[in-house]
Amino acid sequence: MALEIDSILGKWLGLNTTSSHTAVASTNLFVALLCACIIVGHLLEENRWINESITALSIGLCTGVVILLSTGGRSSHLLVFSEELFFIYLLPPIIFNAGFQVKKKHFFRNFMTIMLFGAIGTLISFGIISLGAIHFFQKMNIGSLDIADYLAIGAIFSATDSVCTLQVLNQDETPLLYSLVFGEGVVNDATSVVLFNAIQSFDLSHIGSSIALQFVGSFFYLFITSTLLGVLTGLVSAYIIKRLYFGRHSTDREVALMILMAYFSYMLAELFSLSAILTVFFCGIVMSHYTWHNVTESSRVTTKHAFATLSFVAEIFIFLYVGMDALDIEKWRVISNSPGKSIGVSSILLALVLVGRAAFVFPLSFLSNLTKKSSFEKVNIKQQFTIWWAGLMRGAVSMALAYNQFTRSGHTQLRGNAMMITSTITVVLFSTVVFGLMTKPLIRILLPSSKHISGSMISSEPSTPKSLTTSLLSNGQDPEADPAGDQNVYRPTSLRMLLCTPSHTVHHYWRKFDNSFMRPVFGGRGFVPFVPGSPTEQDVLQWPPQSE
Amino acid sequence: MALEIDSILGKWLGLNTTSSHTAVASTNLFVALLCACIIVGHLLEENRWINESITALSIGLCTGVVILLSTGGRSSHLLVFSEELFFIYLLPPIIFNAGFQVKKKHFFRNFMTIMLFGAIGTLISFGIISLGAIHFFQKMNIGSLDIADYLAIGAIFSATDSVCTLQVLNQDETPLLYSLVFGEGVVNDATSVVLFNAIQSFDLSHIGSSIALQFVGSFFYLFITSTLLGVLTGLVSAYIIKRLYFGRHSTDREVALMILMAYFSYMLAELFSLSAILTVFFCGIVMSHYTWHNVTESSRVTTKHAFATLSFVAEIFIFLYVGMDALDIEKWRVISNSPGKSIGVSSILLALVLVGRAAFVFPLSFLSNLTKKSSFEKVNIKQQFTIWWAGLMRGAVSMALAYNQFTRSGHTQLRGNAMMITSTITVVLFSTVVFGLMTKPLIRILLPSSKHISGSMISSEPSTPKSLTTSLLSNGQDPEADPAGDQNVYRPTSLRMLLCTPSHTVHHYWRKFDNSFMRPVFGGRGFVPFVPGSPTEQDVLQWPPQSE
């Protein structure tokens, strides 16, 4: 049974082969490598240096070397890096899951700081890297790069990859830091992609104040409309599932509908040329706040783990892919006659990344601290250093943007373009592997896990197992269940209320609004419709056969 | 953010457009239609005529009409039917889930009958349809069809689609009938695809006894090796997950590994040119028997529902796709000058399908009944009629095979080929809609749900809710938990044992072998490793944050 599967696989994965058998073999090898990454990642879980990203990258690199040797230096990869695959299939589950699993309270309590770092910070970093690139590269004679290319370099190297840091930071021990790094990462992704697209579409031959204003305007327009679209799609999904109560017949319909609606929000944003990353992120937040609570117990377990698994596989896929593609011989051949210059360019870019990030993390932290009254809420210097470090890694977004700017259909012949691609690969590999290896030990030194250094106001009570009865009886207002396992929720006591009233006022009013207007319509935490034979927790353990 | 997503979407989905915006719009519409199918399917759940397949098909047809009108008759579909998409992405989850959720005991107890129907029956049906097509069509002057085309027609119209019937049959009320129809459906799929590939690869210009022998030999070789490969992959996954006990760190790794290994088995079978359908089906059976019991409680819930959801979405996707494609104007234009002949061909094919199926269901049931001693195990005439009816629908497999045989890259110009494609569409639509509409009422008449007509030896005790304690305490031999919700398991009592010893001997020895040799190595039901902090059912309801 080999019904011409070569063409589809070839087209879809961008396989550099035309033979059906080779395409199937490549897919097999790739799936086997994914399995290997998961197993090795599990075995190295306790290791104090390695993390999942480095494992996948290393396995990718090793496979690349083996392929390179076995094909006699002709090719190093099974697949050509395609930004389409990345943006259409791999990124959406990662970002959606990020929104779905984020601890919403921490995220929104630090919303202004996150926006400061994510949007303004990225713009500062973009400016410094662009100006630095113009300053250094124009003297180096590295090929024909115009102003759009330099600005694109700024956007490409402003896109952080905090996956590695988030694997090390603990959401319970350091909630403030976690939400800052996490939130910044998402907003940063969105900002750099929006920036990048703006650069590609704007006419940059004559930059004036009107263009700059237009740029800022379109940025805010994109930000707000994308967010609203995500919120809207999430609310629609919550409303539909609450009204129809699918669990009555089948949990599969609920799960399917949640996945489809999430993807729908992403594609809808693409359709309206909005920032799909932001849309799907906010769709995830709304879905975890409302929709997730309207479905059956089994669907909750399934969606929580299914989304996490999808995101997990997509991340490994990306690092494996980047690792394998890094040795692509064609690009290195173009720049092989000037290895010194190539190392120079990569070093300058790395230095610009370090400086560009330092230039906003420390000043913006200072500004953010000024607005905080309580010393608990301020970001101390060790935490500032951690935030700086957390965003030094460059990853798949940078790669995807670089390929988009500097190649045409996976190939590059111009010397300047080849130089930029290889430098991006070098920076991604170096920052992920070298900085990545140092992250675990560094965080252990900066933030000893026994103490709760977190500046958050939230008491970190141990998550005591709750009896089943409690979970069943708590009908209206059970603040414990949450896909993010958000156990340490905000529970105002008179003393705390007194201490932190100003910063929680908005949140307080939101809670009131949510309880009086939103939850009656969209369900959410504690929503338990009475339906005869409605699934209880017995379902989860027993699974009587369900009609589908 | 619209990073050239047109090319990938266009290539992947075979979109008949080159504009990025249109491609994104098509995807949006398609996702929205999928959501609509789920919602409408839910609302019509209690309806006595309609089922999910008919809903999706109708929505697809209506959309086709709207597109046809809005494009002024130029095009009716968003996507061109591609058998690659079908065989690589849509079929594997459906078949895997079939194996994963099947009640293994019923399946294996009726294994010989299932094989008789699925393999020998399909061959009989294939022979009758091929001979009938040669007999009738050669006189009708419908274009150039050679011997390979006639044999292909036989294979195409031997592929049943029992989805619709399975939606109506109840696995608990009529386990014998369900397992027969279900098992036959899977073996039938495999048989027709193997047949079809054999026809395409063998030199059919001079048919002799040696070719026929070779054909039979290659069929059995494929059948046995494919099954073994599936079993092997399943066992490897069970062994890895049991040995490493991933749940210690993360349930996501377990879920990811199960999904990847399942897909790996499918692609591995493709690599060795085996029957991937059979491989992935047996991989699903082994995974549900061993692997599924080695993972954490959360992973069990997740995999059970995630696989079911994937399969569910893939099924809806296929019917929507077929519905939309049915109105493709290009094919109908070719045969528009001879509508009478087209109707004639379709009617003949439908009649051949009816006769071909009757020609093996009733004789083979008679044969099968001869080997059964107890009257409970015999298939009575009403059940025979239900089995006959259950396999009359033709679906996506037929469509995919027809496109593979009679078109080149989605287009067909030859008159004979166009006639065959439109006839296939007609037969698929007619059988799914007309026969499908009659299935629910028919089964209600033939098999009143209050009585347990089932010939199975199993007592159909109501699935009483089991206390959590029981489920936790039963360590070694808990025969209740099963992804198929297999509550009515075989529990030998002295009287029953006496009655049905002969037919259960094999199963008895298998149980002994399984308990002594297989389970110690591969885990399976009741496997509970002691790991500190190992997830219990509290996990499922509470979800303390897990490190990933």
CA B513 – CA B524 distance, rounded (Å) = 13
Contact B546 A485 (CB under 8 A): yes
Residue with tokens 């996976």: A410
pLDDT at position B400, please?
82
| Separation between Cα atoms, residue A92 and residue A189, nearest integer Å | 12
Q: Give the whole-angstrom CA distance, residue A498 versus residue A477.
A: 23
* Cβ <8 Å between A172 and B545: yes
Contact A462, A456 (CB under 8 A): no
Residue B5 in contact with residue A88, Cβ under 8 Å?
Answer: yes
- The reply to whether residue B309 touches residue A263, judged by beta carbons under 8 angstroms, is no
Q: What is the mean pLDDT of chain B?
A: 75
Question: What's the confidence (pLDDT) of residue A203?
Answer: 65
- Distance separating alpha carbons of residues B21 and A91, to the nearest angstrom: 20
**C-beta of residue B102 within 8 angstroms of C-beta of residue B342:** no
Is A244 in Cβ contact with B274 (below 8 Å)? Answer: no
The model's confidence at residue A79, banded by pLDDT at 50, 70 and 90, is: low
For A28, the 3-state DSSP assignment is helix
Sign of CA dihedral B166, B167, B169, B172: positive
Buried/exposed code over A392-409 (b: 16+ C-beta within 10 A; e: otherwise): bbbbbbbbbbbbbbbbee
The average pLDDT across B255-278 equals 90
Handedness of CA B2, B5, B9, B10 (dihedral sign): positive
Assess A366–B contact: CB distance below 8 Å, yes or no: no
Per-residue pLDDT at B383 exceeds 90: no
Q: By the CB < 8 Å criterion, does B133 face chain A?
A: no
Q: Which two tokens stand for residue B302?
A: 């997740």
pLDDT (0 to 100) of residue A138:
83
What are the backbone dihedrals phi and psi of residue B407, each rounded to the nearest 5 degrees, phi first? -130, 160
Q: From A401, A458, A391, select the one nearest A425 (Cα to Cα).
A: A401
The answer to whether B442 and B389 are in contact (CB under 8 A) is: yes
Amino acid A77: pLDDT: 62
Q: Which amino acid, B271?
A: L
The DSSP code for B394 is B
Check residue A531 and give its pLDDT.
45
Distance of residue A338 Cα from the nearest chain B Cα, in angstroms: 32
pLDDT at residue A452 is higher than 70: no
Task: State residue B446's pLDDT score.
Answer: 83
- The better pLDDT of the pair A7, B164 is held by B164
* Average of per-residue pLDDT values in chain A: 75
B418 vs B439: CA distance, rounded Å? 30
d(CA A545, CA A536): 14
Residue pLDDT, tens place only, B176-196: 888 888 888 878 877 887 788
User: Please, which residues 85-104 of chain B have a Cβ atom closer than 8 Å to chain A?
Assistant: 85, 87-88
pLDDT at B155 over 50: yes
Average pLDDT over residues A431-450: 80
Q: B216, B149, B147: which is closest to B424 by C-alpha?
A: B149
- Quote the pLDDT of residue B207: 64
Residue A289 tokens, joined: 């706040």
DSSP 8-class letter at A246: G
Structure tokens at A288: 């975890």
Residue A520 DSSP SS3: helix
Q: Is the pLDDT of residue A491 over 50?
A: no
User: HEC string of B90-134?
Assistant: HHHHHHHHHHHHCCHHHHHHCHHHHHHHHHHHHHHHHHHHHHHHH
Is residue B33 pLDDT above 70, yes or no?
yes
CA separation for the pair A225, A539 (Å, rounded): 40
CA distance B544 to chain A (A): 5
Q: Does position A173 have pLDDT exceeding 80, yes or no?
A: no
Which band of pLDDT confidence, cut at 50, 70 and 90, is reported for residue B534? very low
Task: Output the pLDDT for position A95.
Answer: 85
A81 pLDDT band (50/70/90 cuts)? low
Give pLDDT, residue B545. 36
pLDDT at B309: 92
Residue A371 scores a pLDDT above 70: yes
Residue B287 scores a pLDDT above 90: yes
Strand partners, A15: A79
User: What pLDDT is recorded for position B394?
Assistant: 87
Per-residue pLDDT of B500-516, as tens digits, reads 444 556 777 888 888 88
Is the pLDDT higher at A397 or at A259?
A259
What CA–CA distance (Å, rounded) separates A485 from B141? 69
Higher pLDDT residue, A523 or B496? A523
Which position has the higher pLDDT, B375 or A515?
Answer: A515
Q: Are A167 and A52 in contact (CB under 8 A)?
A: yes
In contact, B397 and B322? CB cutoff 8 Å: no
Q: How far apart are CA A52 and CA B404, in angstroms?
A: 42
Separation between Cα atoms, residue B157 and residue B356, nearest integer Å: 9
Average pLDDT over residues A15-28: 65
- CA-wise closest residue to A196 among A406, A339, A467: A406
Question: Is residue A492 helix, strand or coil?
Answer: coil
The residue type at A131: L
CA dist., res. A202 & res. A206, Å (int) = 10
User: pLDDT: is A430 or B211 the higher one?
Assistant: A430
Share of chain A residues as helix, strand and coil, in percent rounded to the nearest 5: 70, 0, 25
Cα–Cα dist B354/B343, whole Å: 17
Question: Does the pLDDT at position B359 exceed 90?
Answer: yes
Does B164 score more than 50 pLDDT?
Answer: yes
| Mean pLDDT (whole number) for A466-474 | 33
User: CA dist A318 to A85, A90, A280, A427, Å?
Assistant: 10, 8, 19, 16
For the cut 70, the answer to whether the pLDDT of residue A387 exceeds it is: yes
Are the C-beta atoms of residues A242 and A217 closer than 8 Å to each other? no
**Residue-wise pLDDT tens digits, B34-79:** 999 988 888 887 776 777 788 888 898 888 888 888 877 666 566 6
What does the block give as tokens for B102? 């099947």
- Tokens (6 digits) for A473: 């009886």
Residue B385 has pLDDT above 80, yes or no: yes
- B376: how many CB neighbours lie within 10 A of its CB? 13
pLDDT at B76: 59
Q: Number of A to B CB contacts under 8 A, please give it.
A: 281
Of A197, A244, A465, the CB nearest to B538: A465
pLDDT at A434 (0 to 100): 87
Give the pLDDT of residue A435.
86
* Predicted local confidence at residue A416, as pLDDT: 79
Highest mean pLDDT among B100-109, B445-454, B460-469: B100-109
Query: Above 70 in pLDDT, residue A488?
Result: no
* B250 or B64, higher pLDDT: B64
* Model confidence band, residue A12 (pLDDT cutoffs 50, 70, 90): very low
Is A268 an 8 Å CB contact of chain B? yes
* Predicted pLDDT of residue A443: 82
Backbone region of residue B160 per phi and psi (left: phi > 0; alpha: psi in -120 to 50; beta: other values)? beta
B63 vs A12 pLDDT, higher one = B63
Closest CA to B28 of A124, A276, A85: A276
Counts for chain B of helices (H) and strands (E), in that order: 26, 0
Quick check: B263 and A194 CB within 8 A?
no
Q: Identify which of B45, B276, B312 has the shortest CB distance to residue A1.
A: B276
Residue predicted with more confidence, B536 or A396: A396
Closest CA to A540 of A287, A304, A312: A304
Closest by CA position to A327, among listed A27, A30, A57:
A57
pTM of the full structure: 0.79
Which residue in B12, B171, B264 is closest to A12 by CB distance? Answer: B12
**Which pLDDT score, from 0 to 100, does residue A170 have?**
73
Q: Do B3 and A404 touch (CB under 8 A)?
A: yes
Would you give the distance in Å from CA B73 to the centre of its chain? Answer: 35
Helix (H) or strand (E) holding A521, with range, is helix A519-522
H or E element in which residue A122 lies: helix A122-140
User: Distance of alpha carbon A424 from its chain centroid, rounded?
Assistant: 19
A297 neighbors A252 (Cβ within 8 angstroms): no
Q: Which two tokens stand for residue B96?
A: 């895997």
Show which of residues 478-497 on chain B sit within 8 Å of chain A, judged by CB atoms: 480-481, 483-485, 487
Question: Is B543 part of the contact surface with chain A (CB cutoff 8 Å)?
Answer: yes
Q: How confident is the model at residue B527 (pLDDT cuts 50, 70, 90)?
A: low
Mean pLDDT of the region A73-97? 76
| Residues B270, A2: C-beta atoms closer than 8 Å | yes
pLDDT at A370: 85
**Which residues in chain A touch residue B544, judged by CB atoms under 8 angstroms apart?**
463, 485, 487
Please classify residue B390 by burial: count the beta carbons closer than 10 Å to its beta carbon, then call 0-12 exposed, 13-18 middle and 19+ buried. buried
The Cα–Cα gap between B439 and B164 comes to 8
The answer to whether the CB atoms of A487 and B27 lie below 8 A apart is no
Look up residue B539 and give its DSSP letter: H
Residues of A in contact with B87 (CB under 8 A): 1, 3, 5
- Chain A CB contacts of B400 under 8 Å are 3
| Confidence grade of residue A520 (pLDDT, cut at 50, 70, 90) | confident
Cβ separation of A545 and B256 shorter than 8 Å? no
How far is residue A296's CA from residue A234's CA, in Å, rounded to a whole number? Answer: 17
Question: Smallest CA–CA separation between B514 and chain A, in Å?
Answer: 23
Instruction: Assess contact for B405 and B418: CB atoms under 8 A.
Output: no
Residue corresponding to tokens 């399984």: B514
The pLDDT, as a whole number, for residue A454 is: 38
**A510 in contact with B at a CB cutoff of 8 Å?**
no
What is the average pLDDT across B400-424? 76
Nearest-5° Cα angle at B14, B12 to B18: 100
